[in-house]
Amino acid sequence: MYKTIALSTAIAMTALTGAAHAASDGKASLTEEKVIQLKTAWGEGIVKIGKAHTKGKDYRAAAEAHIKQFYAFGDRPVLFKPTLASEDQFRGTFDEAMSYFVGGGMKEDTGFAIAPYTAVRWEKEGTVISGNTAMTMGNYYFKKADGAEVKVEYTFGIEQMENGEAKIVLHHSSLPFSPQT
């Protein structure tokens, strides 16, 4: 109950501040629809990278385009904590993100995005938008070629850049907690 009231209050407040921000700079603010579109396209991009790898195509170019399209590397600092990183848990540069997605740059990276996955579906816990920034979290499920799904928890921080594009500035993913029996 408290969570619902707090989330409703946060959404109402961000709607008011977002409207004021949009009016003051003449640009449309980040919207829930833009956040959903970004997440959907991000998932489709992961599938595309894996397909390129499977078909012997230039999967590294697909990953490079994906990272440039969705992450703010070069525009803003990016806080990236990938799911399958343990030795070097954080990937704050474009090259470190490339290594995580397709392997090759860091010893522990085998190429998350070349698995391949056939689909990514999202279950949103909530999204909070304030002007040109959004925070969204929930679970996403990566469907493997055999039909099995891998459940991963996510938090994305998204910022609308000066050119109007929405980009990820924070990405934290982790596997759900599994208590020892």
CB 105 within 8 A of CB 122: no
For 4-32, what is each residue's pLDDT tens digit?
Answer: 434 443 443 344 344 444 434 556 689 99
Residue 122: enclosing H or E segment and its boundaries? strand 117-130
Residue 58 is assigned to a structural domain of this protein = yes
Amino acid 21: pLDDT: 43
- Amino acid symbol at 141: Y
Range of the domain at 124: 2-174
Residue 23 is assigned to a structural domain of this protein = yes
Residue 180 is assigned to a structural domain of this protein = no
Residue 181 is assigned to a structural domain of this protein = no
* Main-chain dihedrals φ then ψ at residue 118, nearest 5 degrees: -100, -15
Residue the block writes with tokens 């909070």: 128
Q: Is the pLDDT of residue 64 over 60?
A: yes
Q: Give the Cα separation of 41 and 56 in Å (integer).
A: 22
For 101-114, what is each residue's pLDDT tens digit?
Answer: 898 877 877 778 98
Q: Give the Cα separation of 150 and 120 in Å (integer).
A: 9
Q: Give the Cα separation of 157 and 120 in Å (integer).
A: 19
Residue 79 is assigned to a structural domain of this protein = yes
Domain count, the chain: 1
* Main-chain dihedrals φ then ψ at residue 6, nearest 5 degrees: -65, -45
Could you tell me the pTM of the whole model?
A: 0.81
Residue 112, helix vs strand vs coil: helix
Q: What is the mean pLDDT of residues 156-175?
A: 94
Angle at alpha carbon of residue 160, lines to 159 and 165, rounded to 5°: 125
Q: Give the Cα separation of 112 and 116 in Å (integer).
A: 8
The enclosing domain of 25 has a CATH number of 3.10.450.50
